[in-house]
Amino acid sequence: MTMTSLERARGEYLAHLGVERGVSDHTLSAYTRDLERYCAFLTVRGRTALGEVTEDDVVAFTEALRTGSDGGTVLAPSSAARTVTAVRGWHRFALAEGTTASDPSASVKPPPSSRRLPKAIPVDRVEALLEAASIGDGAVPLRDRALLEVLYGTGARISEAVGLAVDDLDLDGDVAAVQLFGKGRKERVVPVGRYAVDALEAYLVRGRPELARAGRGNSAVFLNTRGNPLSRQSAWAVLQTAADRAGLTEHISPHTLRHSFATHLLAGGADVRVVQELLGHASVTTTQIYTQVTAQTMREVYAAAHPRALA
């Protein structure tokens, strides 16, 4: 089947994101779906090339995301915002490459979304989760405890943790640290606390060699029982199993540990810009959402403790 001009242009942009920008497979998959829907929408409106697209087309598409008028799924504000971001990125790329003479999406804004506060769990529940991960004997409990200690001890994203190679660990220096590769392969070095170091060393000495014997040699820190790198899905399962064992009833995800890492640091007096660097946020604005969590905690403490807080 012959590719249309729109499909070729879309393929070039997605290749740019994957190869030159180094976006994650998860993001690339989401953008692929978003732009497939956009291309189908434009085709119905009679557009055969990106240069034919008008601002009215882009505005109508954002409305279709909200209403489903194109026959597609009605998207939540956050998903619609991501889709519009993908569309705008494609048009900006086409303009920069000289494929189009203008950017019809330049003044189209993503739909506003209600920004939910990150969900963090108290320190005692984090400790219960970590203890539950190491229940049992053998290599797997050692691996699971080390994985969760790294997630909470560094604030790493799940993809960053499972992407760790043995050479990314520096556990013997004056300040133990791990080298993480974030979005766009952006590199940062994050210090590691004593608990995480102890869990990693126990796993590397007593657990990982056993798992590695089942494979053909791999540099990944966290291995599955076949000796291959642990997948994101398997890491999720590790966390869910530990949460069930610990009797935690709230929703727990890898981001819960990342949120808890940031919230607990700020509650302990850490500077927001230091937390920004530790999390790998490009903008401090992204990190400042966590200050709302600690501000809420302060209000609750004030209301409960001050004799004249309540009328």
Residues 159 and 77 in one domain: no
Instruction: Give the separation between CA 281 and CA 190, rounded to whole angstroms.
Output: 13
157 is catalytic: yes
Same domain for 19 and 161? Answer: no
Catalytic-role residue among 88, 258, 259, 264? 258
pLDDT (tens digit per residue) in 140-197: 999 999 999 999 999 999 999 999 999 999 998 778 999 998 877 788 999 999 999 9
Whether 54 and 163 map to the same domain: the answer is no
Report the amino acid identity of residue 44. Answer: V
> In the annotation, is 186 catalytic?
no
Is 206 a member of any domain?
A: no
Same domain, 157 and 290: yes
Record the tokens describing residue 23, joined without a space: 């976006």
Q: Yes or no: say if 45 and 61 are a contact pair by the CB < 8 Å rule.
A: no
Quick check: is 10 in a domain?
A: yes
Identify which of 272, 240, 294 has the alpha carbon closest to the alpha carbon of residue 132: 240
| 13 is annotated as an active-site residue | no
Would residue 308 count as lying in a domain? no
Instruction: Please tell me the total count of domains within the chain.
Output: 2
Does one domain contain both 48 and 156?
Answer: no
**DSSP secondary structure letters along 190-213:** EE--HHHHHHHHHIIIIIHHHHHT
Q: Which one from 16, 92, 183, 245 is the annotated catalytic residue?
A: 183
Phi, psi at 233, each rounded to 5° = -65, -40
Residue 290 is a catalytic residue: yes
The single residue of 92, 119, 245, 255 carrying the catalytic annotation is 255
pTM exceeding 0.75? no
73 and 169, same structural domain?
no
| Tens digits of residue pLDDT in 195-224 | 999 999 999 999 999 999 988 888 999 999
Q: What is the CATH number of the domain that holds 295?
A: 1.10.443.10
Is 255 in the active site?
A: yes
* Catalytic annotation, pick one of 82, 88, 157, 259: 157
- Owning domain of residue 79: 5-96
Q: Are 31 and 172 within one domain? A: no
Say what the pLDDT of residue 48 is: 92
Phi-psi region of 185 (alpha: psi -120 to 50; beta: other; left: phi over 0): left
Q: Which of 10, 47, 125, 281 is catalytic?
A: 281
Q: How confident is the model at residue 1 (pLDDT cuts 50, 70, 90)?
A: very low
Model pLDDT, residue 113: 58
Whether 259 is catalytic: no
